[in-house]
Amino acid sequence: MAPNTPPNSSSSSTITYTLTHATSVVLDKLQHSPGGFYAAMPKLAYRAKFFAGGRDGNILVVKGRDDDQEFITWGIFQISCNDFYFMPDANFDPANIFHRCLADVKLSCQLTGGRNENFKFSSDDFPAVLNNFCTFKRLVPSKKDYETFSVIYDSLGHRSIKLTHNLFEVKTKDNVNEPDATNTSSIIPSDDANSDNSFLGPKFNMATWPVAERCKGHLEDLISTHDIQLLPAYDKNHNLIPPHLYESKLKGALVEVHMAFCHHRIAKSKRDVFNAILQELIVLSPPSAMPTSPFKCRHLAAGPCTERQYKGKQPIRSSGSSS
């Protein structure tokens, strides 16, 4: 067991202790917190079943409970820089015939094993997580000639987990008389709805939601009929990340993710579709800085930059005697 206080040593040793202690705290939280299950727990599917007919399809729930509690899993993952659509408009393009309408947009990203040495258990446990998630689909009886779309994404031999989030929700009779949809205090519940903290400010306002120019007209059409469902993503200080920072704060970040699972059987297209739905996300380590290059921000008229670095010196390529 780790000591309660760091040993008297150099600052680098103290930093190493702090990171190691923080990692053990996070792992202990994942393995022992109530209300859900660590995604790498052995034989996780034995604890779950699908509840048929939920609002979001067939919902994965905890087996053996009378209240059909939603089955929540969590773990530490790296958000891949590939196929990243956790952006305010998910890169929606109304000119694309394969995109239906803005109201149907789902934000999505790919989760992989962590690449942070301080959270090495994330990469070590990732195969077990993939195995558990693959097993969930076996809880639904297969149907002949139906194509299955799993939450596991396989590209060139690299496997990842597709995490999704519905950006819009249709207004219902229960919220039609609530404050205007542009006031996001009605979108995210707070511990005290009457406190000043219930208003999140203009950065989270649906009327000024930072979509691309091609999407703005479509967004305006939704204000009277839909509510924005803010991404439940928090930075290292547990502050809600505003939409204009989704990409810079999340793309490539190491994160703690809490997710639920649902299943849709689409008879018309003969498809079984499984989704991992984001419930909460906390950044543990921000994205790495982009690589630098001496060829960026150069003045082309000043000549080759590979020669300017030898200014006043004899270039290596010119060394040696000439005949």
Residues 76, 64: contact at Cβ < 8 Å?
Answer: no
Residues of the chain short of pLDDT 70, as ranges, are 1-21, 54-56, 97, 173-199, 290-292, 308-323
The pLDDT of residue 25: 84
DSSP state letter for 44: G
Q: What pLDDT shows up at residue 195? A: 34
Sequential DSSP letters for 99-144: ---GGG-EEEEEEE----GGGHHHHHHHHHHHHHHHHHGGGS---T
Dump pLDDT digits (tens) for 203-257: 888 888 999 999 999 999 999 999 999 999 999 999 999 999 999 999 999 999 9
* Lookup: tokens for 249: 């704060």
DSSP state of 178: S
Structure tokens of 259?
Answer: 């997710």
What's the CA gap between 236 and 234, in Å, rounded?
7
And the tokens for 114? 């962590």
Strand partners, 296: none
Separation CA 101–CA 98 (nearest Å)? 10
Q: Cα 286 vs. chain centroid, distance in angstroms?
A: 13
Which of 161, 12, 146 is closest to 74 using CA atoms? 161
Distance CA 186, CA 111 (A): 30
Tokens of 174: 């229960």
Residue 244 phi, psi (nearest 5): -70, -10
Contact yes or no for 231/246 (Cβ under 8 A): yes
C-alpha distances (whole Å) from 22 to each of 18, 39, 301 are 6, 19, 51
As beta bridge partners, residue 108 has: 164
Q: So what's the pLDDT on residue 188?
A: 42
8 A C-beta contact, residue 103 and residue 97: no
What is the dihedral sign for C-alpha 185, 188, 192, 195? Answer: negative
Burial class of 66 by CB neighbour count within 10 A (0 to 12, 13 to 18, 19+): exposed
Element at 148 (helix H, strand E): strand 147-149
Whole-prediction pTM value?
A: 0.78
Task: Please tell me the distance from the alpha carbon of residue 68 to that of residue 309, in angstroms, as a whole number.
Answer: 68
In this prediction, residue 248 carries a pLDDT of 95
Cα separation of 49 and 138, whole Å? 10
Q: What is the pLDDT of residues 25-44, one digit of tens each?
A: 888 888 888 889 999 999 99
